[in-house]
Structure 1
Amino acid sequence: MSRDSAGNQVKTMTLEAFADTIVPGEKRFPGDRAVAGVAPGGGAVAAGALELLEWDATGVTGGLDDYVRLLNDHARSYAGEHGLDLDASVPPFVALSFEHRTALVARLVAPEHPEKEFWVLLTLFSNMAFDSAAHLPTAEAIAAGHPGLTAMGITRPGADGLWRFPAFSYGRPLARTHPDTTPSGSPA
């Protein structure tokens, strides 16, 4: 394996482990080390957290290597503080158990942590991948069985790809229709 490939593997595994700590999911395969497998169904990783983070629209793509380096440095320090032996065959953060990953992330996002804003931003993008599939067209994400949108029960669009809501969401009109409103709903 080339050095670049090894670096990409470290980056991928570390970011996936972070995202899985934020929105856990089930392991993708038996030897999956990045995804801890502490929750049923797909979590942030299956929802595309890495794809969202690598999308240049997020504004964090250029700093991901720094995130990975810092997170693994924090994991090494955390392991030292707690007398943990880390498996050297995987990145330090990945080598932590889910409970220790969670404890470390809680420390990083705590109000008093000097890097809090950076870790909260990474946390928000991990949540965003699951909650909204922001990096995908919604209809396509639903059609593909996106785990977050499926878990939230987002309805499928009509055959034409559009959503229509024929019933009022509260089961009744919230206000009387203005007398000058046209049959199509436009103001006169």
Structure 2
Amino acid sequence: MDAALTLTIEAFADTIIPGEKRFPGDRAVAGAAEGGGAVAAGALVLLRDPAGGLAPALDSLAVSLNDHATRYAGGRALPLDDDVPAFVALPFADRTALVEELTAWEHPEHEMWVGLALFSNMAFDSAAHLHTAEAFAAGHPGLLTLGYAPPGPDGVWQFPSFSYGRELALPHPGTTATGSPS
């Protein structure tokens, strides 16, 4: 994937879950929200992973997205900066409006755009491309924003008190001291 197509896919992911710019001249990330968004959470890494199934289609999705952005801008007389791909050149509000149009149920291509949106979201809300312990160690923005509980000092995820703030049921009488059923 060349740089222009990478910028396009990053701009799409940033439209789904916005974040702050990575550097002052960042064009893909619009800076529409504080903290890290889908791009900082690793959306591009997840989308490029062959296991997800979208990797072979990313180039054509980026080309199609830029074609849609050119049409969208032309229909609204919006000037586009030729220094970046058409979707990246759109103001954030227009990126959002175009993505809403593309993911609408009645749009003939909605399934592929919804799929791209879901993977962008998945990178943020579950760090699906990382081992959870690695994601926490790296300060993954999505897990931290959503309030996932980090592992304890022993590296084990457990609740020192009841996760719902109260005991929901008594343990089975055959449960061992380590929590295993008998």
Q: Structure 1 unaligned runs (5+)?
A: 1-6
* Alpha-carbon distance in structure 1 between the residues aligned to 2:131 and 2:144: 14
Cross-structure match for 2:169: 175
Secondary structure of the residue aligned to 1:171 is: coil
* Equivalent AA in structure 1 for residue 117 of structure 2: T
Cross-structure match for 1:184: 178
Asked whether the equivalents of residues 15 and 50 of structure 1 are also in contact (C-alpha less than 8 Å), the reply is yes
- Aligned-residue offset at 1:35: 0.6
1:57 correspondence with 2:47: no
Counterpart selection for 2:139 from 138, 142, 145:
145
Worse overlay, 9-18 or 165-174: 165-174
Asked whether the equivalents of residues 143 and 156 of structure 1 are also in contact (C-alpha less than 8 Å), the reply is no
- Per-residue CA shift, 1:54-80, capped at 9, x if unaligned? 011110000001100110000011011
* Equivalent AA in structure 1 for residue 32 of structure 2: V
Cross-structure match for 2:77: 83
* Alpha-carbon distance in structure 2 between the residues aligned to 1:60 and 1:109: 16
Cross-structure match for 1:3: none
* Alpha-carbon distance in structure 2 between the residues aligned to 1:43 and 1:93: 18
Moved over 6 A (4+): none
Measured on the aligned residues, the alpha-carbon RMSD in Å equals 1.4
- Aligned-residue offset at 1:176: 2.6
* Alpha-carbon distance in structure 2 between the residues aligned to 1:176 and 1:164: 17
- Aligned-residue offset at 1:48: 0.5
Counterpart selection for 2:124 from 121, 125, 130:
130
Worse overlay, 178-187 or 142-151: 178-187
Q: Structure 2 unaligned runs (5+)?
A: none
Secondary structure of the residue aligned to 1:28 is: coil
- Aligned-residue offset at 1:159: 3.2
Worse overlay, 164-173 or 176-185: 176-185
Cross-structure match for 2:37: 43
- Per-residue CA shift, 1:27-68, capped at 9, x if unaligned? 111111111111111111111110110011110000001100
- Aligned-residue offset at 1:152: 1.4
1:74 correspondence with 2:68: yes
* Alpha-carbon distance in structure 2 between the residues aligned to 1:182 and 1:133: 33
- Percent identity, aligned pairs only, is 65
Asked whether the equivalents of residues 108 and 119 of structure 1 are also in contact (C-alpha less than 8 Å), the reply is yes
* Alpha-carbon distance in structure 2 between the residues aligned to 1:151 and 1:120: 23
TM-score by length of 2: 0.94
TM-score by length of 1: 0.92
Q: How does 1:5-24 map to 2 (within 5 A)?
A: 8-24=2-18
